[in-house]
Amino acid sequence: MNKEIFFLLISFKIFGLVLSSSPHKYESIFNFGDSLSDTGNLLLSGALAFPVIGQLPYGETFFQQATGRCSDGRLIIDFIAEAFSLPYLPPYLAVTDQSQSFQHGVNFAFAGATALDAEFFYERNIGSILWTNNSLNVQLGWFRKLKSTLCSNKEACGDFFTKSLFLVGEIGGNDYNYAFFLGGSIKQLQATVPLVVGVIANATSALIEEGAVELMVPGNLPIGCSAVYLTLFQSPNKADYDRHGCLKEFNAFAKNHNYQLKQALDTLRQKYPHAKIIYADYYGASMRFVHAPLHHGFYGGTLKACCGGGGPYNFNNSARCGHTGSEACQNPSIYSNWDGIHLTEAAYRHIALALINGSYSTPPLISSPL
């Protein structure tokens, strides 16, 4: 048997065992975030005239059709829903047009969303690059609007949300992406980190005040290992790269964001001792397969995109995945990077499993590792 197929069969079997043995702990999930967890809001909004995420190869791996997810298949939020035997979260805009039920949760995440409000970017003359104005605060507003249809009073809401998991992110990555891609320096962006972290912490606090008791707050991914960063910020200086080929300064930036976020969550835990506030270590979970790609089945590598328009990392800004001049690899499951910015279903599966079994969630998502 081909070793790649053998590895995939084993990993699918292990994940299946995790799902089948997991407790039915949550009855609903509410998710806030950006393109790492958007299950269709950007596509349904009609914000983009020619949305490539609305056509193949996006969605080809699992759904066999484009769903508005920025990947070839399922996302971390999908695997978390599966782990607790819940249906995939409907996007908020599908709920508002009454085409889908929301009793098991809703996904408010919006591709391109920022933690900071759009005004912040317009005040600095970079608002024109924003994909959307649907920031984290806007998504919170959507939740509050929907809340009255979920429960009628404080007692009923308390009972409902006690059985719910809230995911606040990943979000904040776009706050940095927009600025970096327009030429902002790491030194300049460092000053933005406390602002971004503050908004995420405030949103987490607001949800607890609304009745949430179990919340997961993810940190940032290792952006220095992302094909888009590796392409746009290529350096002739070998010292700028770590031994795995990632840009050290950008990964250090992501780690600083994550450090400040963890500090903010510690403060919230003291303020709300009754709430379970989980830090999801996306960075650490991702670096496992950057450090050992073959061990995780990524025979195509972890730095080069599966779908793109050429170049050393297969990311070409003038021929991005889904656009003319781009092409998708034959087997996305052996790549961790999907389109230069987002990850493949295979990579998201590894991250999700690490969160679900508690090895990269603090405190663990479930009471004991599976």
Per annotation, catalytic residue among 38, 72, 175, 339: 339
Quote the CA–CA distance of 312 and 314 in Å, as a whole number: 6
Q: Which two tokens stand for residue 13?
A: 């079997």
Quote the CA–CA distance of 332 and 59 in Å, as a whole number: 11
Q: Of 165, 116, 173, which is closest to residue 139 (Cα–Cα)?
A: 116
CB-CB neighbours of 235 under 10 Å: 12
Q: Of 89, 90, 130, 87, which is closest to residue 111 (Cα–Cα)?
A: 130
Per annotation, catalytic residue among 37, 342, 350, 361: 342
Per annotation, catalytic residue among 35, 37, 286, 326: 35
Q: Report the DSSP beta bridge partners of residue 362.
A: 279
Q: How far is CA 18 from the centre of its chain?
A: 21
CB-CB neighbours of 308 under 10 Å: 29
Is 295 part of the annotated catalytic residue set?
no
Q: Which two tokens stand for residue 42?
A: 């950007």
Quote the CA–CA distance of 70 and 111 in Å, as a whole number: 8
Beta strands at 28-32 and 105-107: parallel, antiparallel or unpaired: parallel
Quote the CA–CA distance of 328 and 309 in Å, as a whole number: 9
Q: Tell me the residue type at 140.
A: L
Quote the CA–CA distance of 22 and 85 in Å, as a whole number: 9
Is 28 part of the annotated catalytic residue set?
no
Q: Of 170, 30, 21, 20, which is closest to residue 104 (Cα–Cα)?
A: 30
Is 35 part of the annotated catalytic residue set?
yes
Which residues does the annotation mark as catalytic? 35, 339, 342
